[in-house]
Amino acid sequence: MDEKKRRQSMILYIIAAIVIYIVLSTVLFPNISPQRQVVEVSYSQVLDDLAAKDVDKIEYDNSNLDIQYTKDGESNTVYTSTAMSGAQESLQEAIRTSGAEQTNVVQQDNSLWTYMLIMYGLPILVFLLFGWWLNRRMKKAMGDDNPSMNFGGGFGGMGGGLGKSGARIVASKDVGVTFKDVAGQEEAKEALKEVVDFLENPKRYEAIGAKLPHGALLVGPPGTGKTLIAKAVAGEAGVPFFSISGSEFVEMFVGRGAAKVRDLFKQANEKAPCIVFIDEIDTIGKRRDGAGFSGNDEREQTLNQLLTEMDGFDNHKGIVVLAATNRPDTLDPALLRPGRFDRRIPMELPDLAGRKAILKLHAHDVKTEPGIDLDAIARATPGASGADLANIINEGALRAVRMHRTRATQEDFEESVEVVIAGQQRKTTVLSEHEKQVVSYHEIGHAIVAARQKGSAPVTKITIVPRTSGALGYTMQVEEDEKFLTTKQEVLDKLTVYCGGRAAEELIFNEMTTGAANDIEQATKLARNMVTRFGMTEEFGMVALGTVQNAYLNQDTSLTCAPGTAERVDAVVVELMQEAHNRAIQILKENKFKLHELARYLQKKETITGEEFMALLMRENPLMPKTPTV
């Protein structure tokens, strides 16, 4: 606790004490005042004052015959006397006749010690009890059930619990996660096995003079298993696991976050060897610069304390700090230098083999029909994270329950892929016949353009059933094999496929609808990347005109060129889009009969498979003239 915060806490307590004192002195004890004069008079004088109706308020105690009263206009003087034995009834009659107010006030004690005790001792006692109660509540709120109380810490620190880290501590026997529970991240597991070996056999490394890295930074998109693999390291090594989110260090009061960091490493030092995991470390580890962050004293002090603790703890005790983030570009360079987070372990989206392994891992606990083809599900989910794949398996199991089945089928998992990608079916959305016709031609336009281009992925499903994501229909394409490189021609083919829906609307209905909004957005983004990132245009060649922001999140691209160049970039993007649109129009004109046939078929069935689509597309048209044979 720094001195500034201690002074602030004491001021708060002083203000509370003053308020309590005022309440007690003005509400509870209104008649107690050190300036009031006490005068003792005879009983006959009491009767004379009552007869003269000079008495304002009077108190009579039947137990000891004591009388106290005040006169009109003499509120600062209290007259006391003792009634004669057997005169109770006559005294009560005299009080009623005089019209004086008989009240039950606290009996005045002219003893100075009694006055000091009531006026000063009682408020102080209430003040101390209030501070004790507040300190207990704060400690309980922070998870500290220790009944011992330190008033110095309570009053100076506003409750010692506020300095607690709040980290969730999992004992080694309760971690329950090992590397066999992590799939699709083989490279990350290999990189972390050395950490596990050090925690299990530290003397092997000490003998040769090697030091384990103080920390490892897990970077990757959301849902790739960063938290899971950190727990797996602790589970493999059989050591305690401390888990805390970066946002839990952020406090309203300056110095609280730094105190939590100190407490976290203090606990870790006591339970070493152990794993300390800080999730979303970019919350407190953002780069210090002149853009306003340095003005936030609380966050900067928390970061400085974290840097200090990582430099200062004894590495030989086996404390390993793991941190996770999906925004490594925003972290402070001091956090990434050797001696702190020495290693950077990528946790990328899984490839085809990784997706198969993840699906198999999660499907192990689900009852399924024999012959489930998880390879098909893996191929249909490129770009899916481990969390997405776990959700697909769970959605498939939930669908089986909704259908009153005891085992999940291939159809359940295939439908769950569409649920995760496009959302649930919107049964309440009923399209008119004309709208259904427009959507049918739109989706078949995409499919025909894709099928008539060699570099496009095969069409696997076409539907015009509305989804909760807002889509009124969609065409699903699935690559047969995993691809890591894309040629310029493949990019141009994909642009043409994006334009196929709008091209079909224009060709058949000679009008445009809002249904192509998402197609236009995706196509424009791809065309702009061709110009600014991929160097696939003759005008600009191999020149990077943009940088990617948040590579693991939305991958937004910001232009890094002069305003005049940006205008030329826009012109090239428009030209690419127009060429793709013209190619789509030409392909659909050449397949206009099939466009009508397939659109009517889709409108009738609402959902068709890729096999049905290709069978109808490749079927010979009896109305077309046959090519003469030579």
Would you tell me how many other CB atoms lie within 10 Å of the CB of residue 220? Answer: 21
**SS3 label, residue 459:** strand
Cα–Cα distance between 358 and 390 in angstroms, integer? Answer: 8
d(CA 324, CA 277): 8
Across 288-383, the runs of DSSP E, i.e. the strands, are: 319-325, 341-346
The CATH code of domain 352-422 reads 1.10.8.60
Residue in 435, 443, 606, 612 annotated catalytic? 443
- The overall average pLDDT reported for the chain is 79
Residue 541 burial (CB count, 10 A): 8
Whole-angstrom distance, CA of residue 334 vs CA of residue 326: 18
pLDDT by residue (tens digit) across 51-64? 777 777 787 766 66
Q: What is the mean pLDDT of residues 142-168?
A: 44
pLDDT band at 138 (very low <50, low <70, confident <90, very high): low
Domain residue extents for the chain: 3-114, 168-346, 352-422, 433-618
- Assign a CATH topology to domain 433-618: Methane Monooxygenase Hydroxylase; Chain G, domain 1 (1.20.58)
Structure tokens at 269: 């030092």
3-class secondary structure, 225: coil
Convert the pLDDT of each residue in 337-389 to its tens digit: 888 888 889 998 898 889 999 999 999 889 998 889 998 899 888 888 899 99
**Confidence label for 247 from pLDDT (cuts 50, 70 and 90):** confident
CA distance 117 to 109: 12
Task: Look up residue 380 and give its DSSP letter.
Answer: T
- Which class is domain 168-346? alpha beta
Quick check: is 369 catalytic?
no
Of the two residues 134 and 105, the one the predictor is more confident about is 134
**What is the tens place of the pLDDT at every residue in 76-103?**
778 888 777 666 777 777 777 777 777 6
Does the pLDDT value for residue 252 go beyond 90?
A: no
Q: Are 142 and 96 within 8 A, CB to CB? A: no
Percent of the chain past pLDDT 90, that is, above it, reads: 25
Left, alpha or beta for 142 (phi > 0: left; psi -120 to 50: alpha)? alpha
396-403: long-range contacts, CB 8 A cutoff, minimum separation 24: 396/366, 397/366
How far is Cα 314 from Cα 291, in angstroms, rounded to an integer? Answer: 35
Q: Is the pLDDT score of 34 beyond 60? A: no
Q: What does the block give as tokens for 372?
A: 């489930």
Instruction: State the CATH class of domain 3-114.
Output: alpha beta
DSSP for 76-133 reads EEEEEEEPPTT-HHHHHHHHHHHT-EE--PPPP---HHHHHIIIIIHHHHHHHHHHHH
421 vs 414 pLDDT, higher one:
414
**CB within 8 A of 311, min separation 6: which ones?**
339, 340
